Structure 1
Amino acid sequence: MSRKAWNCWPSWPTRCRPPQRAAWLAYAILDGTLIPIDRLADERPYYSGKHKQHGVNVQLLADPVGRLVWASPALPGAVHDVSAARTVGLIDALTSAGVKTFADKGYQGAGGTIRTPFKRHRHRPGLSRSQRDVSRAHARICAIGERAVATLKSWKVLTKLRCCPHRATALVQAILVLQLIEEGRYSG
């Protein structure tokens, strides 16, 4: 899978691009989720070692209240969160738009305007008190973003996809539009 194969932004309408959808926010919350799928003949790229199951990885942007703002195309489950965000060009787009984004430790080293909590290293002493306080405050912000993941996964069709994984992107985008309509935030 090349970067160009998954970078669909040039063909997207302007209103669907993450920087335009998130630029008006004070900050955005970035999180990834694995949507379970049935096993495939070519199962290796879809197996997530972290979750110990087959699935597709979807990156989500949430607003400060925890509502869905944007969802990425579905990538194979073996792709890590930071790699998935880079593959779809999300990190570069958010950085160029100047959107301050909070993410969990899965995005460590993403750079740009992506803010992650402090991480304790294996052979070093624990975090200082101020680092722990900052990480705790960061976790409070990211916990709000988990609400967006819960909103997406509350749709029964995503409990386990029994269709081709390539259809997952269309399903997630349709659910995003339906959710925006339900909340009265859909702009056409």
Structure 2
Amino acid sequence: MLAHLRAAGLGALADLGFRGLDNDILDPVIVTGYIATRTHKLTPGQKQANRVLAIGWAPVEHGFAHLKNWRILTKLRTDPARATRLLRALLVLTNLEINR
């Protein structure tokens, strides 16, 4: 997946579960947030970066939550390429409905 994204010149936003997956620090493909620990507090810039990433994650997470609630994914029996197009269309329609 990383090689495909890098070859296409694309990137992806990911949550903190993907930390360490992309080991190229100078040219990251997967952008994750910063994590705070008891001994390492986040700087104001890191907190702002996490807020900006959360703004990008929110619509996608809400869309998948709606798809799960509607149980659409459990009934899907089709070619994966067609499923991707179908899910993209459903996420767009869901976001339009939410923002309406």
TM-score by length of 2: 0.54
What is the Cα-based RMSD across aligned positions, in Å?
3.6
Whether contact under 8 Å (1:117, 1:134) holds in the other structure is no
Cα gap change, 1:98 to 1:148, in 2 (>3 Å): same
More helix by share: 2
Look up the match of 2:33.
117
Partner of 1:151: 63
Higher strand share: 1
Distance 1:117 1:148, change over 3 A: closer
Whichever residue aligns with residue 59 of structure 2, its letter is R
Bigger relative contact order, structure 1 or 2, given CA contacts below 8 A and separation 6+? 1
Query: How many residues are treated as equivalent by the alignment?
Result: 86
Offset, 1:116: 1.9
Maintained 8 Å contact 1:101/1:113:
yes
Among 102, 106, 110, which residue is 2:13 paired with?
102
CA contact (8 A) 1:107 1:116 kept: yes
Mind listing any 5+ residue stretches in structure 1 that lack a counterpart? Answer: 1-88, 184-188
TM-score w.r.t. structure 1 length? 0.34
Q: Structure 1 residues 104 and 179 mapped into 2: Cα distance closer, same or farther (>3 Å)?
A: closer
1:176 corresponding residue in structure 2: 88
2:43 paired residue number: 132
